[in-house]
A and B are shown apart, each in its own frame.
Chain A
């Protein structure tokens, strides 16, 4: 038996292919959205994955340091480092800033870390690691910075000495790694006017500026301007220790909040980007519904355009199965061409997005199955109409 669907397609292939390409563009948008969701989910955990830490110790009753603000004194790290099961502990500080590069600003996340300890960039793609304790930076390649670039963050000037990749904040901003000292200065640094006003305010306070205590004012002023705070302490465990047990010890005895990698991943993927994911998910559902409606209309119109031929086919003895196959095969053909056009479109437009679009083979496979299911569903209307055509309509005009 000849394949009627294929014969009809080859008879007017240009119209069919153009229709499929149009559908493919719509599928391309849907695939790109899927990639965007994947990219967001991956970006959300890129930084915590890159730190290679087992535990995040943060201020009690907070979800810091990424989802909420968290402040700890930088000497807490010593208490934690001495606990059983802790191999390494290090201070980290995070803040999102506008980084000045020449005459333009780039939005970046500053990650302050202690070189050689958890929190440092996992690998470099060019340049060298930070070796000085101040004024050097390693930036993510997505920032557009190059080795040797001079950048200004607030009142601190830094030189980019190395580049890393794949390190972005949960919001997708590229990360610039600096030493913890630089990060503390950047984070808690005050502008000159504020420092001047605070000094005047303190000296005008008779309780702090007493004639009998000449060193008091100096001590208070210095304490207000020193930066001994960090956002979190990252902990790497010695092999064989259960993260949950060590975390419980810290919670109980140090009165701090502690998250394991899995808990931190949950916070970032489920809480921080949940709304954005829901938004994109809704948009994808709408796109799927629109695609179904479009495919249904295309297939329905294609079927209605050959009522007479279908009536003749039925009259001369074609089984309903033959007609159903014909309609389904044409719908699947649209889906297959549309999928490949969509995949190519997504691959072409993905790099143009400011945020990462992660096109996974698994997602493509699932999308293909969904598209074929949609094509099958969309054909039902046309199949119903085709089965209703009476063979008698071929006789007698």
Chain B
């Protein structure tokens, strides 16, 4: 069973003569433990597709299944989208977008807390994730005190906090240099493997594109599946 599956997804903005079809017909899937790339030039509908996948906007037609559960089906959608985003989808953004007034530990613990977990349990879970991502030594620091790479690791830890089956990463290596980009990619790969999480990464980064085993190229609102080179990460 796929972690995420999208079938014949369509998204149009406006109607009549002003109608714009941002996504014409997209079908894609990501398996548990798999890291898949989503590539496409500017204006190809990437952002719209991401927003549909992240359950932030409603598609016009089509079907989305998350972990076997239908979350959207031709106009029908799951009731509590907010809880779905909180518990079943992890987000990693281009800039880390950590909450500046919370320390690293609480930035990660915030998600389990929002899900109703007691503070001590949420912080324990956050600390474990920070250790896996090798930023536990900065647990008490504020985001502004971290380097870009460290901020992205914390963002990944936050995305993992509620152990979602699917993580959506929007150009997570854009602000990083090549070495750090590879480190972040390697960490995402490790997270996918260790937690059996499906990860979809939107990127333009030439350094990491060759590392995908499978990728989708979005052109004029249509996704084309391609096999990637699947190069190993350097040690």
**A interface residues with partner B (beta carbon < 8 Å):** 1-2, 4, 7-8, 10-12, 308-309, 312-319, 322, 390-392, 394-397
Contacts and interface: CB of A to CB of B under 8 A. Distances in A.
Contacts of B102: 2, 4, 7
A8 B101 contact: yes
Contacts of A397: 47, 94
Contacts of B190: none
Interface in B44-61: 46-47, 50-51, 54, 56-57
A396 B50 contact: yes
B106 A7 contact: yes
A309 B101 CA distance: 10
Given A2-B113, A318-B114, A395 B119 contact: no
B111 A1 contact: no
A2 B91 contact: no
30 contacts: A2-B102, A2-B106, A2-B119, A4-B99, A4-B101, A7-B101, A11-B100, A11-B142, A12-B101, A309-B97, A309-B100, A312-B93, A314-B82, A315-B54, A315-B56, A315-B85, A316-B85, A316-B86, A317-B82, A317-B83, A317-B115, A318-B114, A322-B114, A391-B85, A392-B51, A392-B57, A395-B47, A395-B168, A396-B46, A396-B170
Contacts of A312: 93, 97, 99
B39 interface: no
Contact of B99 (A309, A314, A317, A319): A309
Contacts of A391: 56, 85
Contacts of B85: 315-317, 391
Given A1-B113, A7-B106, A395-B170, A315 B91 contact: yes
Contacts of A392: 51, 54, 56-57
Query: Is the contact region of chain A dominated by helix, strand, or loop, or is it mixed?
Result: helix
Contacts of B158: 316
Contacts of B87: 317
B64 interface: no
B91 A395 contact: yes
A10 to B, nearest CB: 8
Contacts of B142: 11
Nearest to B161: A316
Nearest to B101: A11
Contacts of B51: 392, 395-396
Nearest to B116: A1
Interface string B101-141: 11000100111011100010000000000000000000000
Nearest to A318: B114
A308 B97 CA distance: 8
Nearest to B49: A396
Interface in B128-187: 142, 158, 168, 170
A397 B46 CA distance: 12
Contacts of A4: 99, 101-102
A313 B54 contact: no
Nearest to A313: B99
Given A395-B50, A395-B56, A316 B106 contact: no
A316 B114 contact: yes
Nearest to A319: B82
Nearest to A311: B97
Contacts of A309: 97, 99-100
A84 B56 CA distance: 89
A4 B107 CA distance: 11
Given A2-B110, A317-B85, A322-B114, 11 more contacts: A2-B113, A4-B101, A11-B142, A312-B97, A312-B99, A315-B54, A316-B86, A316-B158, A394-B97, A395-B54, A397-B94
Contacts of A394: 91, 93, 97
A55 to B, nearest CB: 68
Contacts of B113: 1-2
A133 B57 CA distance: 94
B19 to A, nearest CB: 20
Nearest to B117: A1
Nearest to A393: B56
Contacts of B101: 4, 7-8, 10-12
Contacts of B109: 2
